Structure 1
Amino acid sequence: MPATRRGAAAERRYPERPEGALVWTHAAEPEQVHALIQLAVRAEVHHPGLHVLLTVTDDRACPDKIPEHVMVETVPDESSSLCRAFLGHWKPDICVWHTGHLRPTLLSAARNEGLPMILVGAEETGFEEVRIPWRRRSDRVALNGFATIYANDADATRRLVRLGAEPERIEETGPLQEGGAALACDEEARVALSERLATRPVWLAAMVQPDEFRLVIEAHRQAIRVAHRLMLIVVPREPSDGERLVEMVAGAGLRLERWSDGGFPEETTQVLVADTYGEMGLWYRLAPVTFMGSSLTAGHGGRDPYEPAALGSAILYGPNVNRFIRAYSRFARAGAARMVKDAGSLSNAVLRLNAPDQSATMAQAAWEVATDGAEVTDRVLNTIEEILDARPIRDAGA
């Protein structure tokens, strides 16, 4: 079923509920959308035919590409009638709530319907210690509607206990894995390109917007004055922009090959324009250093840093990554990513990471961040599977 995105309204008209098992996940913060989509992807592998409803507070936080079995809706307002209508339409078989920021009316309605619920990635910042008695009671009731609570750390556990959560329901596990599985690639093409480029340093500029073309090209021009054999692989955000990119590269006096035309890099090739769909797994594997585009100029929001990290590529990025700010901050703290601001700083960063030991250290740190939380995700998947196996599935007509 295709993914849907719908805004809040006084009277909601939801798309048809699919037949079979339905897991409802909720991202209380935009940064957690990717972790829940990753959970949804892995859950469907474990349980073929499963559908996932992902509720968010703002659907602008969703990535461009959403798996076919995932539906996205904004969470209903805290109105008893709207919450009952939401649950009555979707008839979920389990609820997985991320972070905190509880919605007592919705969660109480779910509890009254006997819906199994688990809280994952519970953070201290997701729970206010309010002094208003009725709010404290409603938060306590909502908290104890969760059969299991997976807390990120001891601070979160202490906050939850003070708010009235039963300690025996809490497990300190750390956060869910946010990154997805490593992207696949054409192994024959990878081997051929690896052999051709074996003695050449390579860097990748991925998902580059047209208003960034000039900056990336200039950064490469500056870099090859020092590292003469350095080659750039540049992937435009839209393959349809490939012609414009080719013209700008040629206009800058750089020798290029165009992948969509069957071009293959030669010893003298300075730029490979990779203007095709579905081959990012190939380019990330070839390049020890990746600049994630859609980030140097404003208005694009950045691209997912977990993609290159999962394939062992060090990460460079611009200052405009508001869609992924939490993820980039996490990589930067781990020494796995560095920010650049213009062509000059991008060129300097590429040259610094041209030293194999520098890029390898960053790439290892990036991989560790990308794979962190995999065990927690496995535990949550096991819990979901146990609940689905023990619970009669509520079909659309049930």
Structure 2
Amino acid sequence: PKSCIIMETELWPNLLHQASKSGVKLMLANARLSEESAGKYRKQASLSLPMLQSLDRIAAQSKQAAARFIDLGVKPENISVCGSLKFDLNISADKIAQAKALRLEWQRGNSPIWVAGSVHPGEFDAILNAHRQVLADNPDALLIMVPRHPEQFNAAAGKIADAGFNLARRSLNESVQPKTQVLLGDTMGELLTFYGAADQAFVGGTLIDNGGHNPLEPAAFGLPVFVGPQHWDFAEITGLLEDAGALQVIAADSELADGLINKFNDESAYDAASEAGLKVIAANRGALKLQFELARQLIDS
């Protein structure tokens, strides 16, 4: 190949060394670099610096990421701040219609519904404890709990049942009944639809030492978003949403429950958070076009 485009953080020293040695032009697209990852690179400077310097172009997601790359020894002229491709998320009309139809099918049009998306073991108890508090305020509330990995589906079902909640499993085509308290989203590829059918969302991987998952997906549906403190993989995006009032960082199940209950009961607070998230996404679109142009220049050079 004459060119190689690598996404985000998939940097392999041997691959980059051999590609560069063979004259392959290298680009790191949608590049993100947390302070924690930058620290790890610094500890292995003899390996990481040549690897990073072999990159002909870096399309950084943020000014902070660009500054960290430069601090590690990358030439400033090789870096362009383009924003994150994740802001160019487009929710199709079909997906929105599918989500609305699902909520109608459940006959829970007026019930408070929230999603705990991409959650991991170590977070299950906190999510269920928060939902118990939400139910105490509104017994009609529904939690859609979506584990991150398929191998966690049965463990999550066991946790929900052991906690005494009335459970429906999506994988078994169990219908959501008026008495259903938790729907386990134990299927693949439906998380976006669940976000579209809900009112609020917690994004997992953030109450454990994981780094988190994408909070823009629920925000793109106009959902107020909650995350835990361990969200370093999406630090800049989380900061933008938090500063705008679209997202709240919580540290415990009681804090999550209080935030959910507040938004469910305060329409003006809910609407403000919903609109703020949509505005943040709209204001930061355009990374796809910028990164395509950098890729074109790389290929044409």
Both proteins in one fold, TM over 0.5: yes
1:332 aligns with 2:242: yes
Distance in 1 separating the partners of 2:298 and 2:183 = 50
Partner of 2:255: 345
- TM-superposition CA deviations, 1:19-69 (whole Å, max 9, x none): 5x634xxxxxxxxxxxxxxxxxxxxxxxxxxxx234x7xxxxx4xxxxxxx
Identity %: 21
Distance in 1 separating the partners of 2:269 and 2:19 = 52
- TM-superposition CA deviations, 1:62-104 (whole Å, max 9, x none): 4xxxxxxxxx33457xxxxx96x54233612777796999x99
Distance in 1 separating the partners of 2:69 and 2:169 = 55
Query: Structure 1 residue aligned with 2:113, among 202, 208, 227?
Result: 202
- TM-superposition CA deviations, 1:336-388 (whole Å, max 9, x none): 11011222111111101113432332122222323433235424424543664
Partner of 2:3: 22
Please state which structure has a larger fraction of its residues in helix: 2
Partner of 1:364: 275
Query: Structure 1 residue aligned with 2:89, among 171, 177, 181?
Result: 181
One-letter amino acid of the structure 2 residue matched with residue 73 of structure 1: L
Query: Structure 1 residue aligned with 2:99, among 184, 190, 200?
Result: 190
After TM superposition, the structure 1 = structure 2 runs for residues 37-186 of structure 1, keeping only pairs within 5 Å, are 52-54=5-7, 62=9, 72-74=10-12, 85-89=18-22, 91-92=24-25, 123=63, 126=67, 175-179=83-87, 181-182=89-90
Cα displacement (A) at 1:254: 2.0
1:273 aligns with 2:200: no
1:300 aligns with 2:233: no
TM-score (norm 1): 0.59
Alpha-carbon distance change, 373 to 258 in structure 1, aligned in 2, over 3 angstroms = same
Alpha-carbon distance change, 264 to 180 in structure 1, aligned in 2, over 3 angstroms = farther
Partner of 2:42: none
Helix, strand or coil at the partner of 2:122 = helix
Give ranges in structure 2 of 5+ residues lacking alignment: 39-47
Alpha-carbon distance change, 96 to 323 in structure 1, aligned in 2, over 3 angstroms = closer
Cα displacement (A) at 1:120: 5.8
One-letter amino acid of the structure 1 residue matched with residue 224 of structure 2: A
Alpha-carbon distance change, 282 to 94 in structure 1, aligned in 2, over 3 angstroms = closer
Cα displacement (A) at 1:300: 2.2
CA contact under 8 A between 2:166 and 2:180: conserved in structure 1?
yes
Give ranges in structure 1 of 5+ residues lacking alignment: 1-18, 24-51, 57-61, 63-71, 77-81, 131-137, 152-173, 392-398
Cα displacement (A) at 1:122: 7.8
Provide the alpha-carbon RMSD of the alignment.
3.9
CA contact under 8 A between 2:87 and 2:287: conserved in structure 1?
no
TM-score (norm 2): 0.75
1:228 aligns with 2:139: yes
